[in-house]
Copies of this chain bind each other. A is one copy, B any other.
Amino acid sequence: MAQPIDEFGLIRRFFAPLAAGEAGALDLRDDAAILRPDPGCDLVLSADTIIAGVHFPEDMNAGDVARRALRVNLSDIASKGATPRGYMLALQISDAIDENWLQDFADGLAGDQETYRLGLLGGDTTRTPGPLAISISIVGQVSENNMIQRAGARPGDDVYVTGTIGDAMLGLAVLQGRLVPPDVVTRDGLVTRFVLPQPRVAAGSRLVGLAHAAADVSDGLVADLGHICEASGLAADICLEDVPLSDAARSAVTVDQPLRLSLLAGGDDYEIVFTAPVPLRTDIASVARETGVAMTHIGEVVERDSRDRPVRVFDGSGRELDTGHGGYRHFERQVPQGT
């Protein structure tokens, strides 16, 4: 049924080298890989699939496809405080894929394996009449019982987010011709944020024992903070002006104020949104300093009460903004700020 004609050849040539550092991968010559967490550790598993034309442009280069596939998975386990161990790669290759593409794809994986210190454990290569698809199951580890869950938030916790929010959404808008940046540096910076997520692996692992709850920002800041709130049976209030923006995003929202609120729904940021108790503010600041990753206090965890949505967004003057149905808008007309 399958087309084994060259699957073994593909594995030997392109993928076995990616497993060379993993004794348990058995050189990809077995039916399965062996994996044992380090003593005192739990394993942390997550899976994400990306499909050409759905999750990334069909003409994205093979190296970027590889890195994107791996990094969206790395982001999931980074937000849990886990350190990467390895991954299973299920690759569905379309007719358009040739050996050059596979070599670039494997090279992309090899580079990120070194950057993020993990190895290929095993997987599966199939030919598909459909679009190219890459499905990865990633394995990380964290000290026993210490995975940072979504469900751990407590009332009164500070809410933080790493890095900056909205750049990936703006990068996609640039790629789609909906936004024209003022210069090529800004353009490249935004596009790169969309194309190549920077999973917060080092910073995430430092949040173990500090953060009460965390999630990666893939669906959008409000949505992913909402997931933490739902899982914890709580709610959160955040301040729009406190949400950290890059210089590029800041200049974009200066021109288009309503855009500022919509960046909170943007998705693809691959930052970490987390909650931590107030007494740990200096510890969080230390982690930010030592890892070089900004950790910005954007709000508080509160009781859920009877409110209809888990995350409320306020502006600097204390007015609640409508983050509801049909896109983001102010409850009241306001003079644009900062112009």
A binding-site residues for B, Cβ under 8 Å? 1-4, 26, 29-37, 42-49, 51, 53-56, 76-77, 79-80, 82, 88-90, 92, 121-124, 126-131, 133, 135, 137, 139-140, 144, 147, 149-151, 172, 215-216, 219, 223, 227, 230-231, 267-268
Cβ contact within 8 Å between A32 and B147: yes
Smallest beta-carbon distance A289→chain B, Å: 26
| Cα-based distance from A144 to B39 in the complex (angstroms) | 13
A77, A90, A172: most-surrounded residue (chain B CB, <10 A): A90
CB-based nearest B residue for A43: B35
CB-based nearest B residue for A223: B4
A77: which B residues are within 8 A, CB to CB? 31-32
| Cα-based distance from A49 to B127 in the complex (angstroms) | 10
Cβ contact within 8 Å between A131 and B133: no
Cβ contact within 8 Å between B1 and A76: no
Smallest beta-carbon distance A235→chain B, Å: 16
Q: Please, could you name 26 A-B residue pairs with CB atoms under 8 Å apart, sorted by A?
A: A1-B172, A1-B268, A2-B55, A3-B54, A4-B223, A26-B150, A29-B151, A30-B151, A30-B231, A32-B44, A32-B45, A32-B46, A33-B45, A34-B43, A35-B42, A37-B43, A45-B88, A45-B122, A45-B139, A47-B88, A49-B92, A49-B126, A90-B135, A92-B135, A128-B130, A128-B131
Closest 3 CB pairs of A and B: A130-B130, A137-B137, A32-B46
Cβ contact within 8 Å between A31 and B216: yes
| Cα-based distance from A95 to B230 in the complex (angstroms) | 30
A140: which B residues are within 8 A, CB to CB? 32
| Cα-based distance from A82 to B30 in the complex (angstroms) | 14
Cβ contact within 8 Å between A55 and B1: yes
Cβ contact within 8 Å between B47 and A137: yes
A151: which B residues are within 8 A, CB to CB? 26, 29-30
Cβ contact within 8 Å between A46 and B126: no
| Cα-based distance from A1 to B51 in the complex (angstroms) | 11
Cβ contact within 8 Å between A129 and B53: yes
| Cα-based distance from A134 to B79 in the complex (angstroms) | 26
